[in-house]
């Protein structure tokens, strides 16, 4: 049986199945990336809810795994060379899981890097910009009298949806016929934009028919439906 005692996070969130991959997460757009990937891959895992509403990601135990205090994070008891490994940052975890299993990422080197660039597109652009739009449109930022921040993030969000729409023109998935970690990285964020952030109308989402059809296809996948509710 693997020994996870070297990871202090397991003291606060004990592993009932230490032989399985341990997921520490919450159902946010970043959090569901990993649960969706795990469901798609069929890897055995144990999910632990880290309630960010109660600041549990800022506890010493969680910070021991991710010093940046953000979900998700994982501990894989069967890491490289059979040794346990802990990881944070959702994009890095997606890439790790894809390479660990040889799935959800093309084997061809050129297509592999093309897939990774779209994961980085989500990490560096879509996530931060959509998140700021949500803050200024729905949350505390909406009380700010100066609407220039809201307008900036609205316009940039619309631009990014347009980039994605152009990419999906004539393609079923980001990488055409292959569903990959690129799709998984983006699905939760686009879903949040039009759902939780209630920004469908202000970004003119319905103008982007390629993205709308892609989102519908993605959300219809059983693994996506399961992953969106975990933990």
Amino acid 231: pLDDT: 81
For the whole model, what pTM was predicted? 0.96
Alpha-carbon dihedral sign for residues 188, 214, 122, 96:
positive
What's the pLDDT score for residue 165?
A: 98
Residues 6 or more apart whose CB falls under 8 angstroms from that of 199 comprise 130, 133, 134, 137, 138, 154, 157, 193, 205
User: What local confidence, expressed as pLDDT, does residue 8 receive?
Assistant: 97
Per-residue confidence (pLDDT) for residue 2, from 0 to 100: 83
Q: What distance in Å separates the CA atoms of residue 105 and residue 229, rounded to the nearest whole number?
A: 24
Tell me: the pLDDT tens digits for 46-67?
A: 999 999 999 999 999 999 999 9
85 strand-pairing partners:
76
Count Cα neighbours of 223 within 13 Å in the Cβ-side half-sphere.
18
CA 41 to chain centre: 15
Q: How far is CA 170 from CA 19, 36, 174, in A?
A: 43, 25, 10
Question: What is the Cα–Cα distance from 122 to 136, expressed in whole angstroms?
Answer: 20
Q: What are phi and psi of 18, to 5 degrees?
A: -65, -10
Distance CA 223, CA 45 (A): 14
Which domains, ranges and CATH numbers included, belong to the chain?
9-101 (3.40.30.10), 109-221 (1.20.1050.10)
Q: For the sheet containing 21-25, what is the strand order?
A: 45-49, 21-25, 73-76, 85-88
Q: In the chain, which residues have pLDDT < 50?
A: none
């Amino acid at each position: 049986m693997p020994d996870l005692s070297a990871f202090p996070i397991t003291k606060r969130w004990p592993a009932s199945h230490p032989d399985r991959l341990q997921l520490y997460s919450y159902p946010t757009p970043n959090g569901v990336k990993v649960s969706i990937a795990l469901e798609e891959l069929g890897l055995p895992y144990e999910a632990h809810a880290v309630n960010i509403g109660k600041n549990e990601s800022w506890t010493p135990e969680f910070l021991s795994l991710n010093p940046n205090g953000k979900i998700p994070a994982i501990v894989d008891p069967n890491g490289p060379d059979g040794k346990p490994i802990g990881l944070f940052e959702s994009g890095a975890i997606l890439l790790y899981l894809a390479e660990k299993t040889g799935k959800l990422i093309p084997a061809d080197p050129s297509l592999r890097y093309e897939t990774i660039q779209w994961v980085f597109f989500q990490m560096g652009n879509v996530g931060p910009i959509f998140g700021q739009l949500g803050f200024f449109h729905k949350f505390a930022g909406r009380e700010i009298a100066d609407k220039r921040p809201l307008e900036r993030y609205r316009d940039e969000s619309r631009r990014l949806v347009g980039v994605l729409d152009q990419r999906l023109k004539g393609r079923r998935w980001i990488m055409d016929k292959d569903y990959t970690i690129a799709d998984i990285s983006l699905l939760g964020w686009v879903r949040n934009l039009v759902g939780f952030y209630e920004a469908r109308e202000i970004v003119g989402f319905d103008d982007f028919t390629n993205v709308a059809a892609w989102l519908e296809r993605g959300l219809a996948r059983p693994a996506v439906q399961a992953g969106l509710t975990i933990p």
